[in-house]
Amino acid sequence: MSMQNIQVGVGPVSFEDLVRVARDGAAVELTSDALEAVDRARAVVEALAAGETPTYGVSTGFGALATRHIPTEMRAQLQRSLVRSHAAGSGPEVEREVVRALMLLRLSTLATGRTGVRRGTAQLLADLLTHGITPVVREYGSLGCSGDLAPLSHCALALMGEGEVRDASGTLVPAADALAAAGLAPVELAAKEGLALINGTDGMLGMLVMAIADLRMLLRTADVAAAMSVEGQLGTDRVFAPELQAIRPHPGQALSAANLTALMAGSAIVASHRTGPDSSVECNRVQDAYSLRCSPQVHGAARDTVEHAATVAGRELASAVDNPVVMVGPDGQGRVESNGNFHGAPVGYVLDFLAIVAADVASISERRTDRFLDRARSHGLPPFLADDPGVDSGHMIAQYTQASIVSELKRLAVPASVDSIPSSAMQEDHVSMGWNAARKLRRSVDGLSRVVAVEVLTAARALDLRAPLTPSPATGAVVELLRSSGIQGPGPDRHLSPEIEAAVGLVQSGAVLAAAESVIGELQ
């Protein structure tokens, strides 16, 4: 399938373009205005490099060593030493999509004309993305201040033809060999270029944008799961009525409640326990448990938090994060100035907020699931949804799996961004830990998808057990998706782990959401 190249210009890349490059392998190209901006900034750097006045990042050392003036003949070595020494990561390799995201975002900052790199250096970074060459970046090394120094340095090292990379097929090869195979030549970094390549929040930002994309899908999927649970537990949909949501006007809550109402529309199971002349009054219970009744309040608050995070991410995508930066006036005259824009606090905070969101949405999902399994609370369903309770355990241990994950998500919700630690001889004495916040958020999002998948799996079994009453068309389509994917309905115990993993795949791919939307249209 052909895919149009992503244009990287002076302005920000979009969420959608980042996902296409990071996950779908889209090629990139620099626009003419970006190349012109790069050239203008480079002219400023070269003029300063030729002068006698020391300029930080151009003719001095770095960090706590910034007071040393570096003579011209040693500046190429200065750049090589910077990148080699800062490529100090340790631990497992970071995922390909994360590395591609951070490379794209570094390229986006280079394209603003604020960093002072040469045109060829920016172009080589674009070429690596286009050819699917992915530098090996390690799990540990970033403090999220002066940006993601170690991860970005591993990428800069590859531009120099050093270190290891994964080629387009995923094979581990020396960077020099991968460049040669693609017909690319390594660069010898010139003044200012080393700092420009490594001084950014690109890793944590890339992970934030991808987490937002995942959570937007997962929160709608959680609405699907909640609707299946309310329906399967003979709950009422009256509490989701728009007039009740309007008196507490949180936008996410209204959207989630509207989704639940749409998902449950036309359910014979729901209709079976209504009474009154218009069949609109729920007759069995005065109130459902919080995990059912308050699903829109929790899912809605999660949505609003995700959208706040998206606002922050949008601002960061529009930023030129480097230190020092090149400032060019309308007359073409320029200067280089130090700043603190590399500090990851704005990104780190929302990464931590989203870990809280993932933990709480998973927690309420697990509570809804547990209610199916307790015959004292499930309104006529067999214990643990077992075929022959006592001989069979049904979904008893599936809930254990959920509980294990939820407990882990609570630990991951402890913020990383409050855990500053000093470095660089106290020059960098307050850091964001944004990279760490992003790494744990990825685990949180994965855990949330697994908890929701178990709820969908369990709710589908319960809906089958309500026969001959039928679920709504939308939730029934989800049940049919599971059954057509090899996940059997109620019956004697069988190996449950493969069914859980199959359900996880259907949730993570968006198939569960798509099944419901195929009946009622796009959820909000």
Give the model confidence (pLDDT) of 70-109 as tens digits. Answer: 888 888 888 999 999 999 999 999 999 999 999 999 999 9
Active site residue 140: no
Query: What is the structure's pLDDT at 469?
Result: 97
β-strand pairing of 28-30 with 6-8? parallel
pLDDT in tens, 236-269: 999 999 999 999 999 999 999 999 999 999 999 9
At 310 the pLDDT is: 98
pLDDT at 278: 54
Report the DSSP pairing between strands 334-337 and 164-166. unpaired
Q: What is the rounded CA–CA span in Å between residue 291 and residue 369?
A: 9
Q: Considering the chain, what percentage of its residues have pLDDT values greater than 70?
A: 96
What is the C-alpha radius of gyration for the chain, rounded to an integer number of angstroms?
27
Determine if residue 491 is left, alpha or beta; phi over 0 gives left, psi from -120 to 50 gives alpha, anything else beta: left
Highest-pLDDT range among 3-7, 67-71, 94-98: 94-98
Nearest-angstrom CA–CA distance, 357 and 447: 12
Note the pLDDT tens digit of each residue in 281-310.
544 556 899 999 999 999 999 999 999 999
What pLDDT band is residue 277 in, cutting at 50, 70 and 90?
Answer: low
pTM of the predicted model as reported, rounded to 2 decimal places? 0.95
Question: Which alpha helices (H) appear in 64-201, and where do they start and end?
Answer: 75-86, 96-110, 119-130, 149-159, 175-181, 193-198
Lowest mean pLDDT of 129-133, 151-155, 276-280, 485-489, name the range. Answer: 276-280
- What is the pLDDT averaged over residues 362-375? 97
- Nearest C-alpha neighbor of 270 from the set 475, 513, 512: 475
For the record, the structure tokens of 211 come out as: 């987490």
Instruction: Assign 348 to helix, strand or coil.
Output: helix
Which residue, among 320, 88, 43, has the nearest Cα to 191 in the 3D structure? 43
Is pLDDT above 60 for 280? no
Helix (H) or strand (E) holding 172: strand 172-174
Cβ burial of 495 (10 Å; 0-12, 13-18, 19+) is exposed
pLDDT digits (tens, 9 = 90+) for 413-458: 999 999 999 898 888 889 999 999 999 999 999 999 999 999 999 9
Catalytic residue among 56, 140, 290, 400: 56
498-512 exposure pattern, b = at least 16 Cβ within 10 A, e = fewer: ebbebbbebbbeebb
User: Given this model, what pLDDT does residue 58 score?
Assistant: 80
User: Is residue 40's pLDDT more than 80?
Assistant: yes
